[in-house]
Amino acid sequence: ITGLAFWALTSLSLTLYEKGTHLPDIALRNANGETVQLADYKGGPLVINLWATWCPPCRREMPVLESAQRQRPDVTFLFVNQAESMQSVATYLATQGLNLDNVLFDASGRLGQAVGSMALPTTLFYQPDGRLINSHLGELSQASLARA
């Protein structure tokens, strides 16, 4: 009985751990207002940056991420804004001269909750199969992004 209880507890723990390390099944909006599924971005290395325009570290790391997106076309970068309007984000990007591909909008912060993000910026690194392999809380430098 003890062995069976241990096996059941271990199996449950592994199942919960595995669920938390996979790309969440969440729908977001793109810059055109269309609904997109995060799962649609599986198939190659994926970097997801959770950010907001009011967040100073987010603002400082944006040029680093923009540069990485240009230098690494083999990696998909998603810039998931947390709870801001499309207009305010578009204005911010235009005034800063930032040209980011794949800007997505998470109006309710569901993605941050699903991945356990407690602060911004949070950057998540996924394998092509959608498994989380690394995460970084706080501002990324060129060196820390390259290492991740």
Residue 1 tokens read as 């009985």
pLDDT score, position 16:
33
Residue 5 has pLDDT above 70, yes or no: no
CATH (domain of 120): 3.40.30.10
* Average pLDDT of span 109-131: 95
Q: What is the mean pLDDT of residues 83-95?
A: 96
Q: Per-residue b/e over 83-105, b at no fewer than 16 CB within 10 Å?
A: ebebeebeebbeeeeeebebbbb
Confidence of residue 21 (pLDDT cuts 50, 70, 90): confident
Position 20 scores a pLDDT of: 53
Number of domains in the chain: 1
pLDDT of amino acid 1: 61
Domain that holds residue 31: 2-147
Q: What is the mean pLDDT of the chain?
A: 89
* Least confident range of 7-16, 85-94, 139-148: 7-16
Token pair 């199996």 is found at 11
